[in-house]
Structure 1
Amino acid sequence: MYMSDDNKPIGWWLKEVDRLLEASFEQLLAADGLTRRQWQALNAATGPEPIAVALAPFLTDPDELSAAVDPLTARGWLLDGSLTAAGRAALEGLGVKVQAQRERVTAGITGAEYAATIGVLQKLAGNLRGSAV
Structure 2
Amino acid sequence: MHMSGDNKPIGWWVKEVDRLLEASFERLLTDDGLTRRQWQALNAAARKQPMTAALAPFLSGDPAELAAITGPLTERGWLAGDALTAEGERALEALTTKVIAERRTITNGITDADYLATIDVLRRMAANLA
TM-score exceeds 0.5: yes
Rounded to whole Å, the distance in 1 between the matches of 2:48 and 2:120 is: 24
Query: Cα RMSD between the aligned structures?
Result: 2.6
The corresponding residue for 2:31 is 31
- Cα distance in structure 1, aligned partners of 2:102 and 2:16: 17
Q: Which residue of 2 aligns with 1:67?
A: 68
Q: Return the TM-score normalized by structure 2.
A: 0.77
List alignment gaps of at least 5 residues for structure 1. none
Q: State the alpha-carbon separation in 2 of the partners of residues 74 and 5 from structure 1.
A: 50
Q: What are the equivalent positions in structure 2 for 1:68-87 lying under 5 Å apart?
A: 68-87=69-88
- Aligned mates of 1:35, 1:4 — CA distance in 2: 39
Aligned length: 125
Q: TM-score, normalised by structure 1?
A: 0.75
Structure 1 residue 85: Cα displacement: 1.0
Cα 1:56–1:14 shift into 2, 3 Å: farther
Which residue matches 2:15?
Answer: 15
Are 2:78 and 2:86, in contact at CA under 8 Å, matched by a contact in 1? yes
Cα contact 1:22–1:36 (8 A) shared by 2: no
Q: Per-residue CA shift, 1:16-37, capped at 9, x if unaligned?
A: 1111111111111222111222
The 1:82–1:60 alpha-carbon spacing in structure 2 relative to 1, beyond 3 Å, is closer
Give the letter for the 1:118 counterpart. I
AA of the residue aligned to 2:17: V
The one-letter code sitting in structure 1 at the alignment partner of 2:13 is W
Q: Greater CA radius of gyration, 1 or 2?
A: 2
Give, in whole Å, the separation in 2 of the partners of 1:42 and 1:90.
9
